[in-house]
Every structure is written in C-alpha cells, then in structure tokens.
Amino acid sequence: MQDGKTAVRDDKAIENRLAIDGGKPVRTEPLPLEFPGVQHMDDEEVQAVNRVMRSRSLFRYYGVNLQKEVETFESEFAKFLGVSHAVAVSSGTGALNVALSALGVGPGQEVIVPAYMWISVAAAVVNHGAIPVLADIDDTFCLDPKSLEERISSKTTGIIVVHMSGAPADVKAIQEIGRHHNLFLLEDCAQCVGGTIKGQRVGTFGNIATFSFQMNKNMTSGEGGCVVTNNLRLYHRAFASHDLGYARDDQGRLNLSDPDLCLWGQGYRLDELRGAVLRVQLRKLPKIIASMHRSKYRIRKALGNFSQIQLRKIVDPEGDTGSFLITTYADPETASRVNEALRAEGIVTFPQGISNVLMTEWGLHLYYNIAGLMKRTSIDRRGFPWSLADNSGLRIQYSKGTCPVADSLFERSIILAIPSSLTEREEDDIIHAFEKVYKALLAS
C-alpha cells in the first residue's frame, strides 16, 4: 500500500512528466493565430470598406465620388512616423523595388543585406541588376555593425537594414557606418511597423524606408506597403516609380513634362479599399503593439530565471513591438528537443503550426534557404544579373558558412509568435510550458 507522501510524490511526477514523454500537456486548445492586425479587426474596418464601396471610387486618383483614402493614409502614416513623405504601395516587396528604383540602384553595385531577412530583400536587389552581399547578424538577430563594416568594398553603394521579428536593429550604429562610407541606408521595417529606438520610430533613420501591411504584419490590409523618406527628390522618384514613371498633378492627372521624372513605372499603386482599412488599422496600431509587448515582456521576465535559456538581445526593449519571442540554447540538439517538447505541451497554433518553430524551419528568412541565391538563378536566359559585365568581379557568395554567426544562431534558436490577443491565462500556459520543459530538459 502507498503511504500519503509517496502518493503526492507520484502525482507530482505525473504532473511534471513532459507531454512528449506521455505526460499531460499544458494546453489542449490551440493558441490564437498570430496575425496581429487581424486579431483587432472589427466593424470599424467593415465600415471603412463600405464607405469606399458606396462611393464607387476604388482608384486613388479619380472616381465618381473620390474619398482620398490612400492620400489621407499617406499623410497620417507620415505623421505617425515623423517623416515628410509617404507613398502607399500594394506590397512590401513592391515598396523595396520602388525604394531601390528611387535610389537609382543598378548593375555594377553591391548592396549589403543581412543574413536574416526575407527573400524579397535579395530579390529587389537582383531585380535591379545589382548584387546582394551578405553581412552577418549578431545576437540582436539583425545586421551586425562589425560584419557590415568588414563587408563594405569600393563597389558597395548601400545598405539594407532589416528590423527583424518585431524588434529594431542597432540602426544608429549602422547609420553612422553608412554615413562614414557615403552609402545609402534603406530600412526595411516590414516586420517592425511602429517599433522605436529611444522614442524615434524605425523608418526615420535611413535615407528611405519600406513597410509591409501583408496579413502577418503588425497592421494589415491583407496586402499593402509603404515607402517613406524625408528627401523630396527620393519621394518624387519613388512616387513616379510606383505608378507609371511620371509625376501627377493635384487632380491625379499625369504630368509628362518633367524631364527628371521620366522613369519606368512598376504598377504598385494602392487602391482605396485598402487605403481605408489601413487608416483604421493605423489608429489601432499602438493598442496592437502594446498588447504584444505586454505579453512578450511578461514571458521574457519569467524566462529570465532560467539560466540555460538565452534571450534575444533587444536594442531598446521599450521600442520592441513584441510580435516574436526568440530563445537560444547551448546546441542544436537542445534547441530541437525544447521546441518539440514545447509543441507537445500545446504551445503552437493549429493547423498551421508555424507559430513555434526551430529557426532552421523559418523558410525564406534564412539566406541559405533562398535557392535563387544559392543557384544564382536568372530571369533571362543570359544570366542576368550575375553575368553582366558591370557585375564581373563583384562578390557573389551565398553558400552556407558565409555568415557563421547567423548559421549558429539559426540552429540553436526557436521562434515563437506572440499573438496580439493573448490572455493572461494563455501567457501563464506559455510560461508554465517553458518551466516544465526547462526543469525536465535543461536544469542541471
């Protein structure tokens, strides 16, 4: 017969047994889906869309009863960031293309991009006929200023810094280096809309910046993006590039007479429906960010007690939008085991299940997963842009190992999306699952 003490000990052992080893999981319900802006959508967005539909004016430049939603969004977004000019576009990828066209990027130029990014960053450089040169990241998971400096050559024309996974890069240090070497600085803020460093919004440090409002982003209209700058010439060029290559007058009519603005347009105009949705989402953005930030920092605080879990270095915690939590472990096997165990505890969304993965599973964010870079694929049959004479002698090196710090961090880290609608109970579950896994697998 069992005595009382043994029974309690057995209960404790069952409670502590990991779900992966047949124990009871912390959660059986999926966590909420991550899409931050979507979680806060309600009748306000519906009304905004209805307003545009009733106006029967879906094109930004003219219509039956034009509401000027896109134009108003541009002013409101520029004001929110504290920049002079904004051009709304139909995607973050489009924004990158427009920004590089505005900057005049082309063959014979190297543009430095970080090892952790999104395929669109490399694609925009390649589509312009220039060569992306990889620089390593550091424990901020963003461009490492030291690696950046090492990879600058006489052919380098600019830097694309990407504020990854919700938190700003060390953009001030990067800005200094850019200025010192007379390079342009493009900030890709797709994953960090609304982030700040010492109160200054990301997107206001470089010469030009891009944003995405695709559905995974902090605010969304399903698809959408924006290019912002304080430089009037860059604005005019971005504006022309996103449209038909020319300026427009106040009435939205094309102005073909400006010899400086006779470019090649790329057709990335935003429509009024999405402009109207974005105006509502922008008003909600502070609340969306505050919610993710609160959840993430409550979890981070609890994880701070676990010495075997390394937390991502955050340049300015106040300015982190909070959309992702990255934790790093001693070696790849431990990271993999922890991730598997957390997922078994129910720290995952269903059915997609991509809200909590090993970073090596994080697809086209990792330079060595971008097959087009590895294989140097081309759009044409003649090997554009790799084979261009202007590009001969430029550094074309993308194989795994090019960025060793990134390689090691990707293998040893896991990334968990922090939904913008987490309840305290759900935060408790995440903390409890980490604690359970920590005690079983990591605590010595």
Ligand X SMILES: Cc1ncc(COP(=O)(O)O)c(C=O)c1O
Of residues 36, 92, 166, 275, which one binds ligand X by CB under 6 A?
92
212 scored as a contact of ligand X (CB under 6 A): yes
Instruction: Show Cβ contacts of residue 21 under 8 Å, excluding neighbours closer than 6 positions.
Output: none
CB of 215 to ligand X, least distance (A): 9
190 scored as a contact of ligand X (CB under 6 A): yes
Name the residue nearer to ligand X (CB basis): 143 or 303: 143
Name the residue nearer to ligand X (CB basis): 187 or 345: 187
214 scored as a contact of ligand X (CB under 6 A): yes
Name the residue nearer to ligand X (CB basis): 142 or 261: 142
CB of 298 to ligand X, least distance (A): 25
Q: Which two tokens stand for residue 268?
A: 């990335």
Stretch of 184-192, 228-236, 402-410, 414-422 lying at the interface with ligand X (CB under 6 A): 184-192
Q: How far apart are CA 54 and CA 376, in angstroms?
A: 48
Which helix (H) or strand (E) segment holds residue 113: the answer is: strand 110-114
Residue type, 237: R
Name the residue nearer to ligand X (CB basis): 207 or 212: 212
CB of 118 to ligand X, least distance (A): 4
In 3D space, the residue among 268, 286, 288 whose CA is nearest the CA of residue 223 turns out to be: 268
Residue of 12, 24, 155, 217 with catalytic role: 217
404-412 helix and 332-344 helix, angle to the nearest 10 degrees: 40
Tell me if residue 287 is catalytic.
no
191 scored as a contact of ligand X (CB under 6 A): yes
Q: How does DSSP classify residue 114?
A: E
Name the residue nearer to ligand X (CB basis): 141 or 438: 141
Q: Compose the 94-133 pattern: x for residues touching ligand X by CB under 6 A, - for all others.
A: -----------------------xx-xx------------
In 3D space, the residue among 264, 278, 277 whose CA is nearest the CA of residue 97 turns out to be: 264
**Contact status, residue 38 vs residue 215, Cβ threshold 8 Å:** yes
Name the residue nearer to ligand X (CB basis): 58 or 190: 190
Output the CA angle 423-287-175, nearest 5 degrees: 115
Of residues 57, 67, 91, 101, which one binds ligand X by CB under 6 A?
91
166 scored as a contact of ligand X (CB under 6 A): no
CB of 192 to ligand X, least distance (A): 8
CB of 170 to ligand X, least distance (A): 16
In 3D space, the residue among 43, 18, 70 whose CA is nearest the CA of residue 442 turns out to be: 18
Give the interface size with ligand X as a residue count (CB under 6 A): 14
Name the residue nearer to ligand X (CB basis): 261 or 418: 418
The residue at minimum Cβ distance from ligand X is: 92
CB of 225 to ligand X, least distance (A): 5
**Dihedral over Cα of 299, 303, 304, 305: its sign:** positive
Q: How far apart are CA 111 and CA 207, in angstroms?
A: 14
Peptide bond into 168 cis (omega under 30): no
Name the residue nearer to ligand X (CB basis): 26 or 105: 105
Of residues 162, 186, 303, 326, which one binds ligand X by CB under 6 A?
162
Q: Measured between alpha carbons, how far is residue 388 from residues 132, 159, 383, 396 in Å?
A: 14, 21, 8, 12
Q: How far apart are CA 142 and CA 164, in angstroms?
A: 6
Q: Is 313 helix (H, G, I), strand (E, B) or coil?
A: coil
Q: Measured between alpha carbons, how far is residue 86 from residues 77, 82, 148, 279, 380 in Å?
A: 7, 10, 28, 14, 33
Q: Which two tokens stand for residue 371?
A: 């097959």
Q: How far apart are CA 73 and CA 75, in angstroms?
A: 5
CB of 2 to ligand X, least distance (A): 56
Q: Measured between alpha carbons, how far is residue 348 from residues 33, 337, 339, 340, 440 in Å?
A: 9, 15, 10, 10, 19
Considering only residues 216 to 235 of the shown chain, the ones binding ligand X according to CB under 6 A are 225
CB of 219 to ligand X, least distance (A): 12
Q: Which two tokens stand for residue 162?
A: 């990407």
**Contact status, residue 173 vs residue 146, Cβ threshold 8 Å:** no
Residues in contact with ligand X by CB under 6 A are 91-93, 117-118, 120-121, 162, 188, 190-191, 212, 214, 225
Active site residues: 217
